[in-house]
Amino acid sequence: MMPDNLVELQAVTKIYNQGQANEVIALKQVSFTVARNEMVCVQGPSGSGKTTLLSLIGCIFAPTSGRATIGGKKISRLPDHFLTRYRRELTGFVFQHYNMLDHLTVLENITLPLLPLGISPGDRVRKADRLLEKFGLSHRRNFSVTQLSGGELQRVAIARALINDPPIIVADEPTAHLDGKLSREVVDMLASLRDEGRTVVIASHDPIVSAHPAMARIIEVRDGIILHQLSGR
């Protein structure tokens, strides 16, 4: 059973390179919750801490201090192997710069997150083909990811985030490289994941994202703190 709040951050601070000359306090005592099956948008200028906040939610790393509970699992002060496990079980991450492996095909990139899970090759391909079909990418299945358009690449990134069927989807600037029409398609796609029962957190300063009818809240981040939260339309 999933808890009522899939994301619970309490006074969370994230410091990069702590104690070194290049130390950066990226988040300062941030408290923030996202309910199960909610879709929220995180806004803020470049360098304000959006990707850092999403990385905490996506179990990419634990906070430097404070409490973070994701999908009911406390991830603060956890050994790395637990963090890795929760990342795989709970979250799908759509990265700001896609993070595709260029020497692999679309299909291979999508199945990548399944490799550590001991799923048979046949099942891996079947899961990926279902997602390729869902996102209208079947005809690009065996293409190198370097041969895709921006819109196609963004859909591959979303498909890869979904391959382990996670309850939480985190998408970092998913429309940054797309025109208006494609942006709307991508947000509709993310909203449909919410309609399937997932919890969706998107970092974006694109009004097409923040004004989407399915957006429950808009969180404004500035210099590592949450300035305010507005309810969506």
Ligand X SMILES: Nc1ncnc2c1ncn2[C@@H]1O[C@H](COP(=O)(O)OP(=O)(O)OP(=O)(O)O)[C@@H](O)[C@H]1O
Residues found near Mg ion in the complex (CB under 5 A): 50-51
User: Mapping DSSP to helix (H, G, I), strand (E, B) and coil, where does residue 6 land?
Assistant: strand
17 binds ligand X (CB under 6 A): yes
Q: How far is the CB of 103 from ligand X (least distance, A)?
A: 25
- Which residues, other chains included, contact 105 with Cβ-Cβ below 8 Å and sequence gap of 6+? 141, 142, 143, 144, 145
Number of residues that bind ligand X (CB under 6 A): 13
- Count of CB atoms situated within 10 Å of the CB of 13: 16
Phi, psi dihedral angles at 12 (to 5 degrees): -90, 130
DSSP string of 44-79, one letter each residue? --TTSSHHHHHHHHTTSS--SEEEEEETTEE-TT--
Verify binding: residue 50, ligand X, rule CB under 6 A. Answer: yes
C-alpha span between 30 and 8 (Å, rounded):
10
192 binds, among ligand X, Mg ion, none (CB under 5 to 8 A by kind): none
| Pairing of β 168-172 and β 199-203 | parallel
Q: Is 117 in the site for ligand X (CB under 6 A)?
A: no
Residue 7 half-sphere exposure toward CB, CA atoms < 13 A:
27
Stretch of 3-11, 48-56, 72-80, 104-112 contacting ligand X, by CB under 6 A? 48-56
d(CA 141, CA 64): 40
The structure tokens listed for 8 are 């619970």
19, 21, 46, 79: which one contacts ligand X (CB under 6 A)?
A: 46
Q: Is residue 52 involved in binding ligand X (CB under 6 A)?
A: yes
Query: With CB under 6 A as the contact rule, which of the stretches 47-55, 106-114, 161-169, 180-188 interacts with ligand X?
Result: 47-55
Q: Count other Cβ atoms within 10 Å, centred on residue 70.
A: 26
Among residues 48, 154, 183, 199, which is the contact residue for ligand X, using CB under 6 A?
A: 48
**Residue range at the interface with ligand X (CB under 6 A); choices 43-51, 60-68, 140-148, 210-218:** 43-51
Per-residue x/- marks for ligand X, 173-212, CB under 6 A?
A: ----------------------------------------
Record the tokens describing residue 116, joined without a space. Answer: 């550590």
29 binds, among Mg ion, ligand X, none (CB under 5 to 8 A by kind): none
Name the site residues for ligand X (rule: CB under 6 A).
16-17, 24, 26, 44, 46-52, 96
